[in-house]
Amino acid sequence: MIILDTSIWIEFLKTHDAYFTVISQLLEQKDILAVECVFGELLQGVKNDAEQNMILNYWKHLQKIDMTEIIIEAGLFSSRNKLLDKGVGLIDAIILIHGIRSQSRIWTLDKIFYI
């Protein structure tokens, strides 16, 4: 499974060829794992009802990890690993925990993930 960070979803939604083709295939193969905070960020930036409905439709149909207390776990993981000192915020720590727990890869344009 692959977790798409917000930056990758944005490229896909803009239909940038380098992302759109690959992600479309991943979607067809059901290889994408949705993370709630990523979709929250996407919804935060919607410009109209059509965009909102499209994002909510992806959210509704994608496989998800339903983890209670993941935010607490991400905060503890971040603290233990001094992630905040490295510029990694809570949302990114949550995405990292999703990746670790599900043994999924994370696809992002965020350079902070490569430290």
d(CA 59, CA 107): 17
Mean of per-residue pLDDT scores for the chain: 93
Segments making up each domain of the chain, as ranges:
2-114
Instruction: For the beta carbon of residue 51, count every other beta carbon within 10 angstroms.
Output: 14
d(CA 21, CA 18): 7
Predicted TM-score of the model (pTM): 0.90
Instruction: Order across the sheet with 2-4: list the strands.
Output: 63-64, 32-34, 2-4, 105-107
Looking at domain 2-114, does it have CATH number 3.40.50.1010?
yes
Strand partners, 33: 3, 63
Q: What is the pLDDT of residue 66?
A: 74
* pLDDT, tens digit, 9 for 90 and up, residues 31-69: 999 999 999 999 999 999 999 999 999 999 999 987 789
Q: What is the pLDDT of residue 103?
A: 94
Q: Of 54 and 86, which is predicted with more confidence?
A: 54
